[in-house]
Every structure is written in structure tokens, then in C-alpha cells.
Amino acid sequence: MGAMGIGPGETGGSGRGILYAPWERAFERILTPFEEFIHRQTTSGLLLMVSAVLALVLANGPFADLYHRLIHLPLGISLGGWSLEKTLQHWVNDGLMAFFFFVVGMELKREMLVGELADLRQAALPIVAAIGGMVVPALIYLAIAPDGAAQRGWGVPMATDIAFAVGVLALLAARVPRALITFLVALAIVDDLGAVLVIAVFYTDDLAFAWLAAAGAVVAVLVVFNLAGVRRPVPYFLVAVLLWFALLKSGVHATLAGVIGGFTVPALPRYDPAAFSAQVRRLMARFDVSHRPGESILTNDELRAVVQALDNGVVAVQAPLQRLEHIWHQPVAFLVIPVFALFNAGIPLEIGTVAGTVLAHPVALGVTVGLVAGKLLGITGASWVALRLGVAVLPAGTRFPQIAAVSLLAGIGFTMSIFIAELAFGAEPQLLLMAKIGILMASLLSGAAGFACLWLLGAPRGAGAR
């Protein structure tokens, strides 16, 4: 640890002969899975914001025509007489987003097995709060837009964008209890599960039962892989591609293949920690004996063999669920979600008439009020009832007004809300535009109000009151 200040190519003291590149210092950083999750969600939220702003600029500037032609560019795959063609935007929404839902599936499984949702007493408050935060916004939307095609948008204000919401709360990390961030993460994950169920049950096309049966058979293969102890990801990936295609043809939204695939990833490692520890000690003893000062590892076969064995052991001691979630979280957070925002947030706006549009159109008004007021009333009300009935307890170090303030952040519905809006109004461009305007307005209002309330309610750590 004393050599951390040594730069690339330098040596010093007991660190003689050791070269440090900037990325090598990551070896000395130890983050818990939760800390890593928060860091990535915060960065993803910032990238998501940049992508959304860029999409709005492109859709309302001199490149608007080029932008819209790009997202609607047809792109196909053909093999012999078989072909599959979609617009570039549909490939992003139906294909690329499957990787997002794959990570969601793994997060849900981990949380249910060992995370915030594993202990029923601990999980009761975020579960009840999430249910209230889904039901009340949907009811508010239906009260404002009860008729016609607009009615299909009731699922839009149910969703919370975990990256944006956690990103905003992480900016206040010095003023809020850590348990409050944990509460929001658990709530958003339950919210994601609810959104997945809503998509599967209510936002499907006419079902093709032959393809649905084929999808069921493919899921059975994934389950057999899991029970048989298959730990390598490649078989799961290949079968999941077949599942994606079968669901695409069945009428059920194809991205659900990602959630199902995530749930079938094994959660048990090949090695137990005690056996791994003993093996590492034996290998490190061989490493020390084989190491010859001044000799490159490239010319020391014994040393290379030991390092390779260590690498194999590190992989085997991790559960595939843990390892794949770690591997896929970064490309999903830093590529998939920003690309989705870039392809879906670009809506034509006339800044002077946005407020009037929201107030005048039932879809835009329903989405805005549903997300802002619905999440506040639903989450806060359900939490209050659960606490009064004694079925849940407040997270450690938190106060009830902070729960109410966090419920405002839950009104940031960006990614999942836009996704559901695309499903609800894909055939109604004007209604889709109104829904997206409502989502943008609500996310802006909820984020600003939640941040302000939490700032006022919080206190710098170590400053006294909590």
C-alpha cells in the first residue's frame, strides 16, 4: 500500500522493480457489491441525462430530419429465404434492451436470495411502498384519461428509473443516511419487477401459442442447465437468443427473454470459500518459490501456470450470477441505457407551449400528475399504513419525512416509462409524443422537488441531527 504514490515506471523502497500503471491501482480498491452498484447507477444516470439532452437537441435543431431518418432506418437479417427486418429504433428497443432486462433479472434474483428483499421484515416497507407507488399513479392516470386509445397509457406512470433516481440521491450521500439509499434501491427493484409483469400481462400483441410453447420449451432447457450445474455463460447465451426469437414471434415482448435468462443464471459457485482459501495459499507458496527477481513472467512457465490456476479459481469461487451481473452492469449502464435514451427521448418541443400541452392533453397530464403526485401519495401513503400496522419498520437512521421526499424521486420514470409508452402508443404517434412530454416534465419536476426536500431534511454527516 505504501507504493501507491509511485508513478508508472518508477520504483521505490520495498517496491523495487514494480511498475505501476494507473489502472493497476484498481487492484487495491475494494468495493462492496452495493458500493459498486451505487457508483455505476450514479454514472449511468449522468450519461442518461446527457443522452436525453443530446436527443432533444438533435430532434429540435438543424439535424432533426437526419435524426428521425436515422432512428427509422430499416435494418434486417436474412438467411436463405428467412429474414427479420426492423427499424433501427426497434432493434434498440426490442433487441438491445434485452440486455438491460437481463441485468434487471439478475438483480431481482440476487436481491431475493441475499439482498434487501431476502428478509421479509426488512423488505416489507420497500415492497409495500413500491406497490402503492404503482397502483396510485395508474389510478390517477385512468381518472384523467379514462377513455379511448389514451387509456392504454395507464402503465406509463407506474415505473421508476433506478439510474436517475439513485443518481440524484447519491449526490446527497453526505446529507442522507445510507439506509435511505438502500430503501430507494430496493423500492426501485420491486418497481422494476412490477413493470416487467405489467409488460408481460397487459402490453402484449395477439399471442401465437405455437411460438409461446416453443418459448416454454427453451425456458425448460435453461432450467435444466441450471439444475445440471452448467456454469459457463455461453450455453445460456445461445439458448437465450432462441428464447428471444421465440418470444418475439409469440407476441409477448421479446425483452422479457432477458429477465427470464437472468433468473436462470446459477447462484451457486463451484468452489466454497474455505477450499478456495486453502488452494490460494498453496498456489501462492508455489508462486513465491517460482519467482526469480528480474525475470519476466513471459519466460517463466511455472509462474504463468500458477497465475492461470489462480485466475481459474477466482472465477470458480464466484457465483455465475455474481460474476455476470458484474460483467454486464457496465456495458448496460454505460452503453445500452444511454443509446436507448438517444433513440427515444428525441421529441419535437416548442418550449413556449410545453406547459400548455401538458395541461391540455389527457395523456400528458395523466402521465405528469401520475408520476409526480401519484408516486408521492402512493409510496408515502402505503409506507405510513405499513408502519402504523406494524408490518414494517423504518430503515435505520431515517425519518418518515425522508421517506416522503424519496417518494418524489421515484417520480423520475424516464427509461422504463418511455419503454412502456412505446408499447402502449406505438401505433399512435401523437399519443406517444404526449406521453413522452409528460415523462420529461414529470421527471424534471420530481427530480428537482425530491432533491430540494432531501437537502432541506438532511444534515452533513457528523453535524449532529439526523
- Give the residue extent of every domain in the chain: 102-203+253-269+349-457, 271-317
pLDDT of residue 352: 59
Question: In the structure grid, which three cell numbers stand for residue 274, read together?
Answer: 474455505
The most confident of 311-325, 369-383, 409-423, by mean pLDDT: 369-383
pLDDT of residue 65: 92
How far is 155 from 198, CA to CA, in rounded Å? Answer: 7
Give tens-digit pLDDT for 60-102.
Answer: 889 999 999 999 999 888 877 777 888 899 899 888 989 988 9
Task: Taking residues 342-362, report their average pLDDT.
Answer: 75
Task: Taking residues 354-371, report their average pLDDT.
Answer: 83
pLDDT of residue 36: 60
How far is 243 from 245, CA to CA, in rounded Å? Answer: 5
Give tens-digit pLDDT for 257-266.
Answer: 888 999 999 8
How far is 170 from 178, CA to CA, in rounded Å? Answer: 9
pLDDT of residue 299: 72
The SS3 assignment for 290 reads helix
Only one residue has cell 441505457, namely: 337
How far is 6 from 244, CA to CA, in rounded Å? Answer: 49
Confidence bin at 21 (pLDDT 50/70/90): very low
pLDDT at 240 over 70: yes
pLDDT at 4 over 80: no
Only one residue has cell 452448467, namely: 230
pLDDT of residue 293: 78
Query: Which residue, among 181, 120, 176, has the nearest Cα to 386 in the 3D structure?
Result: 120
More confident residue, 372 or 86: 372
pLDDT of residue 353: 58
Only one residue has cell 409488460, namely: 199
pLDDT of residue 39: 61
For residue 88, give the DSSP letter.
H
Q: Which stretch of DSSP H or E encloses residue 83? A: strand 82-87
For residue 85, give the DSSP letter.
E
State the Cα angle at 367 between 362 and 370, rounded to 5°: 110
pLDDT of residue 76: 86
More confident residue, 340 or 350: 340
How far is 198 from 193, CA to CA, in rounded Å? Answer: 9
For residue 42, give the DSSP letter.
H
User: Across the strands, what pairs with 77?
Assistant: 84
pLDDT of residue 155: 95
Cβ atoms within 10 Å, residue 62: 8
Q: Which stretch of DSSP H or E encloses residue 307? A: helix 301-317
pLDDT of residue 356: 65
pLDDT at 228 over 70: yes
Give tens-digit pLDDT for 286-312.
Answer: 888 888 777 777 777 788 888 888 887
pTM, entire model: 0.77
Q: How far is CA 454 from CA 160, 162, 174, in A?
A: 18, 17, 11
Give residues with Cβ within 8 angstroms of 348, minimum separation 6: 59, 60, 64, 433
Amino acid present at 452: A
Q: What percent of the chain has pLDDT over 90?
A: 32
User: Across the strands, what pairs with 20?
Assistant: none
Confidence bin at 234 (pLDDT 50/70/90): confident
How far is 319 from 232, CA to CA, in rounded Å? Answer: 11
Task: Taking residues 120-126, report their average pLDDT.
Answer: 86
The CATH number given to 102-203+253-269+349-457 is: 1.20.1530.10
Give tens-digit pLDDT for 422-453.
Answer: 999 988 988 998 999 899 999 999 999 999 99
φ and ψ of 117, to 5 deg: -100, 5
Question: In the structure grid, which three cell numbers stand for residue 77, read together?
Answer: 437479417
The most confident of 7-21, 116-130, 174-188, 375-389, by mean pLDDT: 375-389
pLDDT of residue 466: 40
Query: Which residue, among 416, 419, 411, has the nearest Cα to 379 in the 3D structure?
Result: 411
Query: Which residue, among 202, 226, 237, 172, has the nearest Cα to 38 in the 3D structure?
Result: 172
How far is 409 from 405, CA to CA, in rounded Å? Answer: 7
Only one residue has cell 440524484, namely: 168
pLDDT of residue 2: 38
pLDDT at 30 over 50: no
Q: How far is CA 347 from CA 47, 103, 170, 350, 435, in A?
A: 18, 28, 28, 10, 10
pLDDT at 239 over 50: yes
Average pLDDT over the chain, rounded to an integer? 83
Only one residue has cell 459498486, namely: 36
Give tens-digit pLDDT for 132-173.
Answer: 999 999 999 999 999 889 999 999 999 888 778 877 887 787
Only one residue has cell 423488505, namely: 123
Question: In the structure grid, which three cell numbers stand for residue 153, read together?
Answer: 397509457
436, 341 Cβ separation under 8 angstroms:
no
pLDDT of residue 288: 83
Say how many Å lie between the first and final Cα of the chain, rounded: 35
pLDDT of residue 27: 44
pLDDT at 194 over 60: yes
How far is 33 from 415, CA to CA, in rounded Å? Answer: 23
Confidence bin at 276 (pLDDT 50/70/90): confident
Task: Taking residues 47-56, report their average pLDDT.
Answer: 88
CA atoms within 13 A on the CB side of 288: 5
CA atoms within 13 A on the CB side of 307: 9
Question: In the structure grid, which three cell numbers stand for residue 160, read together?
Answer: 421508476
| Burial of residue 423, with CB atoms counted within 10 A of its CB: 0-12 exposed, 13-18 middle, 19 or more buried | buried
- Alpha helices by DSSP H, 318-391: 320-331, 337-344, 354-360, 362-369, 375-389
Query: Which residue, among 126, 162, 123, has the nearest Cα to 38 in the 3D structure?
Result: 162
pLDDT of residue 460: 56
